[in-house]
Amino acid sequence: MISLPDKFKQRLGWILLLALIWQLIAASHFFSELIFPGLDKIILTLFTSLTNGNLLKQLIFSLIIIAQGLTLTVILALSLSILAYFSELAASLLETLTALAHPLPGIALMPLILIWFGAGKTAILLVIIHSVLWPLILNLRAGFNAMPSIYNLIAQNYCLTKLEFLFKILFPAALPYFISGLKISWARSWRALISAEMLFGAINSLGGIGWYIFQRRVFFDLPGVFAGLVVIILIGIIVEDFIFARLEAKTVQKWGMSK
């Protein structure tokens, strides 16, 4: 039997309370049903969209793109951060690039990406990578720089190679910062994906979850819009409370890196 995390139980309680308030406001008819649909209509629309298969396919398509974007970004961020750790020149260049690119929202670059790469999967991946790369680099570099200097002395005393130093000392020391950056990256990847899909449109026969929300908005299907938002929220809660929470419990908390 799967035990639910305490944090998830508390969150579920608050969600149920907010859902009850929502339904009471909708039932009062203080707002028009066209702009404030009840939960019954939202749930019915969600169920219908899932049973006909379209929403599920769109969700899977979006999750695949996010997974690809995060994988590429993690590889790139680790490579650049490691290079900057061992090279002052590379560190100076990376700091400059981060200062220039990090303040730029992904949506501001979408017109350029659209012109240069077209409205395809590559364009969406580039938007995700840009939105995720810089905060992940900042967290990784903060973790590397926060490592106590005595660890370097230990590595010298044991005559560790650079590769051994990376895997046995540097990576474990920076792990809490990496996981924190990954959590931020996951949230930002969702925002980048939804924005890109709404702008670029469907890049396959169905598009992703962002395209689903955009279509419902065009046809003024507010229950459908909220159904898409509910799916995104549920996926976020599951990832936060079950994947990242368990990852932290098995690594960061287990190794005594946090209280």
Listed residue (184, 151, 198, 195) closest to 170, CA to CA: 151
Residue spans of the domains in the chain: they are 59-147+173-250
Listed residue (166, 107, 106) closest to 140, CA to CA: 166
How far, in whole angstroms, is CA 159 from its chain's centroid?
A: 39
Q: How far apart are CA 20 and CA 97, in angstroms?
A: 47
Q: What is the pLDDT of residues 121-132, one digit of tens each?
A: 888 888 899 999
* Average pLDDT taken over every residue of the chain: 84
Q: What is the pLDDT of residues 101-148, one digit of tens each?
A: 888 887 788 888 888 887 778 888 888 999 999 999 999 999 888 887
Q: Are the C-beta atoms of 244 and 87 separated by less than 8 Å?
A: no
Report pTM.
Answer: 0.82
Q: What is the pLDDT of residue 12?
A: 82
Q: What is the pLDDT of residues 179-223, one digit of tens each?
A: 888 888 888 888 888 888 877 665 666 678 888 888 888 888 899
